[in-house]
Amino acid sequence: MLLALVAACLAVGAIGGAVTATSVGSWYQQLRKPSFNPPNWVFAPVWTALYIAMAVAAWRVWRARGLEGARSALVLFALQLALNLGWSILFFGLRQIGPAMIEILILLATLVATTLAFRRIDGIAALLLVPYVAWVSFATVLTAAVWRLN
């Protein structure tokens, strides 16, 4: 199950990366960005580490309670994973910064709910999501700044 979860999370990352690649070298380069925008090379290793941590967190929850016992927490996990991909599609694929801003707020709320649901089942699983919550919080601020500047 751990390998399946890692594969699923990395697959979402790969799809998101493919969508991102359609714009990162062209449209995204032309956008005005805030001074705190990280260099492009930072994103791939950070996201890879986050996707692996997310998979391990979900696995710990599944292992602690099984699918039936952790169903609501794992549904939240799947929803936030879909929203994660949705942001890449909206922002980079469709180049819709405003809708991406709304979507990332929904992602962040869903991610916090997922983290809290995981905490009720396995504290370490919740801790594994904290860097992801921090990164999505930063990405939310970054998206808002790019939206405001453009």
pLDDT at 31: 96
pLDDT at 35: 96
The predicted-structure confidence for 111-146, as pLDDT tens digits, reads as follows 999 999 999 999 999 999 999 999 999 999 999 999
Polymer length in residues for the chain: 150
103 — pLDDT class (breaks 50, 70, 90): very high
Place of tokens 């922002």: 91
pLDDT at 146: 98
pLDDT at 27: 95
Domain ranges (residues) in the chain? 2-32+41-149
What's CA 38's distance to the chain center, in Å?
17
CA angle (134, 138, 141) in 5-degree steps = 140
pLDDT at 70: 96
pLDDT at 145: 98
- Stated pTM of the model: 0.94
Q: What percent of the chain has pLDDT over 90?
A: 97
Give 29-36's long-range contacts (Cβ < 8 A, gap of 24+).
31/146, 31/149, 31/150, 32/146, 32/149, 32/150, 33/145, 33/146, 33/149, 34/142, 34/145, 34/146, 34/149, 36/142, 36/145
The predicted-structure confidence for 32-86, as pLDDT tens digits, reads as follows 999 999 999 999 999 999 999 999 999 999 999 998 999 999 999 999 999 999 9
- d(Cα 135, Cα 139) in Å, to the nearest integer? 6
Burial class (CB in 10 A: 0-12, 13-18, 19+), 22: middle
- Is domain 2-32+41-149 in CATH 3.10.129.10, yes or no? no
The predicted-structure confidence for 60-74, as pLDDT tens digits, reads as follows 999 999 989 999 999
